[in-house]
Amino acid sequence: MEYMIEPIGAQFSKKAVTALAQQFTSRAGQGYRLHSVFHVSQPGCLGLGQGTTTYLAVYVKGESPSR
């Protein structure tokens, strides 16, 4: 199995949601299946300043595990 993780942002306008759907469709066309989405906090530069929160999408390609 092969995994791919990519940031998808944290704020979603109507236009951004449409773009996100197109991104998911594109990944599916490449043989990836959306596995999960989770949020992460990233500290500011050198641990100083304001950190950011974003969401990461995890995709899986290859055999799916038996259930």
Note the pLDDT of residue 38.
Answer: 94
In this prediction, residues 52-60 reach a mean pLDDT of: 93
- Residue 39 resides in a domain: yes
Note the pLDDT of residue 39.
Answer: 93
pLDDT in tens, 5-48: 999 988 889 999 999 999 999 999 999 999 999 999 877 777 67
The range of the structural domain enclosing residue 56 comes to: 2-61
Task: Say which residues have a Cβ less than 8 Å from residue 40's Cβ, sequence separation at least 6.
Answer: 53, 54, 55, 56
Note the pLDDT of residue 21.
Answer: 94
Distance CA 57, CA 52 (A): 16
- Residue 67 resides in a domain: no
- How many domains is the chain partitioned into structurally? 1
Rounded to two decimals, the pTM is 0.76
- Residue 66 resides in a domain: no
